[in-house]
């Protein structure tokens, strides 16, 4: 229950829309009751003068129904977008310390989330919450008010009927939904978990297709996805069965109530009361009231699913980021010199340290190359300079200020970063280039393209800079992706550059061209560049070597 209350609290901003939706929903049922009651009365001839009212009430009910759909959906969509934004705000500080956006998943993080799993939460789980208001809260309120209204009407016109009908109505409105909730609880949770797993498998299958084909593992992967799909199917089938039984039970209770009304009425008639007209009204109103409780079993059956989805969202949202901004950030220093002082660092949950007492000073404007074997901690050092993590011991400083005392945004604003895994986003080449520097002028764009060795590539694209790249557009090779990332960094024109293997994936000739151009682009900037190429390292002011988490000269 706590999970649901938590999300209900998130919806308070939309209370106005929710209230409006609820008002129309109640109006629909009220007019429905009025319509059937009126029809019953007119049919038996006790209210001939009221016949005129039938048409406006019927039209009014349709109008109210339309407005109800409009407002409840408006409320739901607004709530869902609030929840999505809220969730995204929580998730972004978790990258990359807690959530590894890469394929492998965060080793040792507390929530190890793969990209597909995160997508499931952002899309499927948030969507599962839409039932909370529109399927659960509104119908429950409507049903409650209807039962109260019916109790009032029936006890006034036909008290003998009231008890029987209300008993059946309570069975339909309370007992059946409660049973449905119980019957759908486990399957609802399974639905959420299994559809997340299926989504993950589908993503793995498409993203890893070339590898799977090369290793003749496609059929095994397909069989795995097929099993995941069948397991999801089991849960969905179970839910469908429960839903059908719930609907049937409600239907039977409705019929039983109708029969009860008639029986009680006929019995009263046999005693000599003139029950005809009241009986007809009572029968019609009873039908309308059962209509109001009909959606409840399904709504409560889905509660398990909604709750599981809510729990999965909270699990991520309440994960503590590895780094947090200080309460009162210091003013960012003017200097761009970097100091790494006795830094020790182990990844969360890892057994061994990744950095084991690292000291490094990079003066403002100095260009330092870091070389060393794979796994020696080079990228980790860059991650600490970025403050993706805080050191376990020692400190990282910029312009004399400890990174932990700075606002992350202030720090990042002065960095141009080329990381090892370059993401090409779905968008045009221009979108991809201007990610860190919106609205550059044409001259800067040309310069960045030239320095990154992309001028030919851009010129050959069908729509030039406005060509779509990525999955929905022109495919980009690894080397081209690297160069796009490099051009992105150059455009950003930050005073400090952190480059992880900027020439990886380039042929020797292009590498030479890029290096020469990079020398031009980095004039006056502080540069830390990881590389495993001697030629690249020699072009820098100084070369330091990392081995097993330590700097060696």
Task: Report the partner that residue 354 touches, choosing among Mg ion, ligand ADP, none (CB closer than 5 to 8 A by kind).
Answer: ligand ADP
Of the candidates 89, 196, 95, 94, the one whose C-alpha atom is nearest the C-alpha of residue 421 is: 95
* CA atoms of 63 and 240, how far apart (whole Å): 32
* Stretch touching ligand ADP by CB under 6 A, among 9-17, 374-382, 421-429, 504-512: 374-382
* 45 contacts 71 by C-beta, under 8 angstroms: no
Q: Which of 135, 376, 428, 503 binds ligand ADP (CB under 6 A)?
A: 376
Task: Identify the helix (H) or strand (E) that includes residue 417.
Answer: strand 415-418
DSSP one-letter code for 93:
G
Helix (H, G, I), strand (E, B) or coil at 355: strand
* 277 contacts 41 by C-beta, under 8 angstroms: yes
CA distances from 453 to 430, 448, 504, 517 (A): 15, 8, 13, 8
# chain residues binding ligand ADP, by CB under 6 A: 15
The nearer residue to ligand ADP, 107 or 215, going by C-beta atoms, is: 107
The nearer residue to Mg ion, 294 or 371, going by C-beta atoms, is: 371
The nearer residue to Mg ion, 379 or 522, going by C-beta atoms, is: 379
Q: Which of 378, 411, 483, 533 binds ligand ADP (CB under 6 A)?
A: 378
Exposure letters 226-257 (e unless 16+ CB within 10 A, then b): eebeebbeebeebbeebbebbbebbeebbebb
What is the per-residue DSSP string for 4-15? HHHHHHHTGGGH
The nearer residue to Mg ion, 11 or 379, going by C-beta atoms, is: 379
* CA atoms of 445 and 334, how far apart (whole Å): 27
Rg (C-alpha) for the chain, rounded Å, is 33
* Stretch touching Mg ion by CB under 5 A, among 54-62, 228-236, 373-381, 431-439: 373-381
Residues 74-133 that bind ligand ADP (CB under 6 A): 100, 106-108
* 25 contacts 138 by C-beta, under 8 angstroms: yes
- Cα 320 versus chain centre, distance: 18
Q: How far is the CB of 331 from ligand ADP (least distance, A)?
A: 31
CA dihedral over 397, 401, 404, 406, signed as positive or negative: negative
Task: Report the partner that residue 107 touches, choosing among Mg ion, ligand ADP, none (CB closer than 5 to 8 A by kind).
Answer: ligand ADP
Q: Which own/partner contact pairs does 58-62 have at CB distance under 8 Å and 24+ positions apart?
A: 60/31, 61/28, 61/31, 61/32, 61/35
Residue 375 interacting with ligand ADP (CB under 6 A): yes
The nearer residue to Mg ion, 379 or 432, going by C-beta atoms, is: 379
Task: Report the partner that residue 286 touches, choosing among Mg ion, ligand ADP, none (CB closer than 5 to 8 A by kind).
Answer: none
Q: How far is the CB of 198 from ligand ADP (least distance, A)?
A: 27
Of the candidates 242, 120, 207, 148, the one whose C-alpha atom is nearest the C-alpha of residue 471 is: 207
The mark string for 248-287 relative to Mg ion (x by CB under 5 A, - otherwise) is ----------------------------------------
What is the per-residue DSSP string for 371-382? E--TTSSHHHHH
Residue 552 interacting with ligand ADP (CB under 6 A): no
Q: How far is the CB of 377 from ligand ADP (least distance, A)?
A: 4
Task: Report the partner that residue 56 touches, choosing among Mg ion, ligand ADP, none (CB closer than 5 to 8 A by kind).
Answer: none
The mark string for 333-372 relative to ligand ADP (x by CB under 6 A, - otherwise) is --------------x--x---x-----------------x
How big is the CA angle at 193 (ends 190 and 195), to the nearest 5 degrees? Answer: 100
Q: Which of 71, 120, 336, 379 binds Mg ion (CB under 5 A)?
A: 379
Q: How far is the CB of 108 from ligand ADP (least distance, A)?
A: 5
* Stretch touching Mg ion by CB under 5 A, among 270-278, 292-300, 372-380, 444-452: 372-380
- Cα 150 versus chain centre, distance: 42
The nearer residue to ligand ADP, 40 or 106, going by C-beta atoms, is: 106
* CA atoms of 16 and 493, how far apart (whole Å): 46
DSSP-derived pairing of the beta strands 393-398 and 338-345: antiparallel
Residue 377 interacting with ligand ADP (CB under 6 A): yes
The nearer residue to Mg ion, 377 or 416, going by C-beta atoms, is: 377
* Stretch touching Mg ion by CB under 5 A, among 190-198, 255-263, 282-290, 377-385: 377-385
Binding residues for ligand ADP, per CB under 6 A? Answer: 100, 106-108, 347, 350, 354, 372, 374-380
Binding residues for Mg ion, per CB under 5 A? Answer: 379
């Amino acid at each position: 229950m706590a999970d649901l209350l938590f999300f209900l609290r998130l919806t308070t901003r939309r209370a106005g829309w929710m209230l409006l939706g609820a008002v129309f929903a109640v109006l629909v049922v009220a007019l429905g009751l009025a319509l059937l009651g009126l029809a019953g009365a007119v049919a038996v001839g006790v209210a001939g003068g009221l016949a005129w009212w039938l048409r406006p009430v019927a039209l009014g009910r349709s109008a109210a129904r339309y407005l109800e759909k409009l407002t409840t959906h408006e409320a739901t969509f607004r709530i869902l977008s609030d929840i999505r934004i809220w969730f995204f705000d929580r998730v972004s500080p978790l990258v990359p310390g807690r959530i590894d956006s890469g394929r492998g998943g965060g080793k040792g993080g507390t929530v190890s989330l793969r990209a597909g799993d995160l997508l499931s939460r952002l899309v499927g789980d948030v969507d599962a919450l839409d039932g909370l208001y529109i399927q659960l809260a509104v119908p429950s309120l409507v049903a409650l008010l209807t039962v109260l209204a019916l109790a009032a009407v029936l006890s006034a016109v036909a008290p003998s009927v009231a008890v029987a009908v209300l008993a059946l109505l309570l069975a339909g409105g309370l007992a059946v939904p409660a049973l449905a909730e119980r019957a759908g609880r486990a399957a609802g949770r399974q639905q959420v978990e299994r559809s997340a797993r299926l989504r993950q498998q589908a993503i793995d299958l498409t993203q890893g297709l070339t590898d799977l084909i090369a290793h003749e593992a496609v059929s095994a992967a397909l069989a795995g996805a097929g099993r995941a799909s069948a397991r999801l199917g089991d849960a969905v089938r179970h839910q469908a069965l429960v839903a059908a039984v719930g609907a049937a039970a409600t239907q039977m209770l409705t019929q039983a109530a109708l029969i009860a009304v008639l029986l009680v009425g006929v019995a009263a008639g046999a005693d000599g009361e003139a029950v005809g007209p009241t009986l007809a009204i009572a029968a019609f109103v009873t039908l309308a009231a059962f209509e109001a409780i009909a959606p409840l079993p399904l709504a409560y059956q889905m509660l398990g699913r909604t709750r599981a989805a809510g729990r999965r969202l909270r699990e991520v949202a309440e994960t503590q980021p590895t780094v947090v901004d200080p309460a009162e950030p210091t003013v960012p220093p003017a200097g761009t010199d970097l100091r790494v002082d006795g830094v020790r660092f182990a990844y969360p949950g890892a057994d061994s340290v990744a950095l084991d007492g690292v000291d490094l000073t990079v003066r403002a404007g100095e260009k330092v190359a870091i070389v060393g074997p794979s796994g020696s901690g080079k990228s980790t050092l860059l991650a600490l300079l970025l403050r993706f993590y805080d050191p376990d011991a020692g400190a990282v400083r910029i312009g004399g200020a400890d990174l932990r005392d700075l606002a992350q945004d202030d720090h990042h604003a002065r960095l141009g970063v080329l990381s090892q895994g370059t993401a090409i986003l779905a968008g045009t080449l221009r979108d991809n280039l201007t990610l860190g520097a919106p609205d550059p002028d044409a001259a800067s764009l040309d310069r960045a393209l030239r320095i990154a060795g992309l001028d030919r590539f851009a010129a050959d694209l069908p729509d030039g800079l406005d060509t779509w790249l990525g999955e929905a557009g022109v495919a980009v090779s690894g080397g081209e992706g690297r160069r796009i990332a490099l051009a992105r960094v150059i455009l950003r024109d930050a005073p400090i550059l952190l480059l992880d293997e900027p020439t990886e994936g380039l042929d020797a000739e292009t590498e030479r061209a890029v290096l020469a151009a990079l020398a031009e682009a980095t004039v006056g900037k502080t540069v830390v560049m990881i590389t495993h190429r001697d030629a690249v390292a020699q072009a820098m002011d100084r070369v330091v070597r990392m081995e097993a988490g330590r700097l060696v000269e």
